[in-house]
Amino acid sequence: MIIQLGEVPWLIVSSSDMACAIMRTHDSIFASRPSIVVTDIIRFEDVAFEPYGEDWRQLKRIFTTHLMSNKMVGSYKTVREGEINTLVRKISNHASLSNGGPIDLTSPFFSFMTSLICRVVCGKFVLEEGRYHAFREMVEETFRLASRFSIGDLFPSMPWMETLIGLSRRANRNREKWDRLLHEVIRVHIQRGESDRCQEISFVDMLLSLRNDATINVELTTDRIKGLVGDAFAAGIDTTYITLDWAMSELLRNPKEMKKLQEEVRGIVKHNNMVTSEELTKMYYLRAVIKETLRLHPPLPLLLPRESMEECEINGFTIPKGTKVIINAWAIGREAKSWEAAEEFMPERFINSQVEYKGNSFHLIPFGAGRRICPGIAFATATSELVLANLVHHFDWELPEGMTTDEFDMSESPGMSVHRKDRLRLVVKHVLASN
């Protein structure tokens, strides 16, 4: 469906067939990003919003190879498992102090992801020097701004209209904060030098070392390093903890599925051991639960917008050059022709199924597809699976006293990323002490 909003034509994609046409058949035409007022102000030269071209291809290659490849995700094993151990202990302590009452899980999930991304991207010293809270606040503020409507996106020929709302001023302040924070992180890394680095080699360390690498076909300026680091924080924190929030919500609303998952995990992991990355390969139902959660609750329900770089024809309709494209992954994940009982939480649908979320099954696209597919799939899924497995292994969970599954509120909050409207508060009934 093409609609005219202000001066700009928009193509709204809400079917898997049309998504395939955009992200596979005509992917080379729709591989660019449009100019968006807020993100144009906030972002540095990054991967997420950079227009399509050779610079973008080189930056994506660096981002994927040196941060989000399967090899790199595997190298974070010790850090990831250590942070999950900390999360399990934190939940256990909260449960001990709650006297049988509900505990908040949303905040620990967010803290866990912030700490994990800080260590992987910037190194442990960021946590030690207190910058952890600054990154957490910046990510929250950035997503709030990116979720706001901007009249300048509808009337790009009249930028003065944006000043009436004041969103640009807030975005500029946000960028200034990011600039100061990232500049200081880079400065400290340079000052510390190779001789003073700990054993955890961070993404920033790698980026700085690549500046003099002759095989890199793009200049890694300070702004580009800031952009790549900013992408890691924005994409890595919010989306993954949202998936954990919704996965636990669905499991508590569907106790039979929770029991089945716990039986699988506890049948593989003995006694009070932490679940390890190696054991995940045996947990087929766990992966099905994550897939079903992403189907019903894609963290970015409208993905990131695209823009046509030239005129093309799809299904008899002419799509003008410069059309902005919104792909509704939320609606596609509930498409009746693709999914039996589309509104129901049924992880079993993915058992012995070839459907996956890596860009080849266009009725399941929580990470997008094509050239602009999210490069952080391996990191996000490895983290979500390992956290969820440990949560159901070490704890038994119940809804707050007196609340039935029908009364459990599953309302969504509006925004660029879709959170639960209310914080996730659950009762821990049994705690299995962890080593």
Question: 7 and 157 in contact (C-beta within 8 Å)?
Answer: yes
- pLDDT at residue 166 greater than cutoff 60: yes
Closest by Cα among 226, 232, 189, 185 to 209: 189
CB atoms within 10 A of CB 111: 19
**Residues 94-107, buried b or exposed e (16+ Cβ, 10 A)?**
ebeeeeeebbebbe
Exposed/middle/buried for residue 166 (C-beta within 10 Å: 0-12, 13-18, 19+): exposed
Residues making up the binding site for heme? 374
- pLDDT at residue 287 greater than cutoff 80: yes
pLDDT at 154: 87
For residue 281, the 8-state DSSP code is G
Domains of the chain by start residue, with CATH: 2-425 (1.10.630.10)
Q: How many residues does the chain have?
A: 435
Residues making up the binding site? 374
- pLDDT at residue 200 greater than cutoff 70: no
The residue among 50 and 167 whose pLDDT is bigger is: 50
- pLDDT at residue 151 greater than cutoff 60: yes
Render pLDDT for 307-350 as a digit per residue (tens, 0 to 9): 999 999 998 999 999 999 999 999 999 999 999 999 999 999 99
Cβ partners under 8 Å of residue 228, min gap 6 = 46, 47, 59, 62, 63, 67, 203, 207
Structure tokens at 174: 């946000």
Instruction: For residues 377 and 139, give the distance between their C-alpha atoms in angstroms, rounded to a whole number.
Output: 19
pLDDT at 363: 97
pLDDT at 41: 93
pLDDT at 270: 83
Render pLDDT for 75-123 as a digit per residue (tens, 0 to 9): 999 999 999 999 999 999 988 888 889 999 999 999 999 999 999 999 8
Q: Helices 377-394 and 255-268: crossing angle, nearest 10°? A: 90
Instruction: For residues 111 and 378, give the distance between their C-alpha atoms in angstroms, rounded to a whole number.
Output: 20
- pLDDT at residue 228 greater than cutoff 90: yes
Give Cα 3 to chain centroid, integer Å: 29
The three-state secondary structure class of 254 is coil
Average pLDDT of the segment spanning 244-262: 98
Structure tokens at 242: 């949202």
Instruction: For residues 120 and 201, give the distance between their C-alpha atoms in angstroms, rounded to a whole number.
Output: 8
Question: 377 and 243 in contact (C-beta within 8 Å)?
Answer: no
Instruction: For residues 274 and 36, give the distance between their C-alpha atoms in angstroms, rounded to a whole number.
Output: 44
Task: For the chain, give the mean pLDDT.
Answer: 91
pLDDT at 213: 87
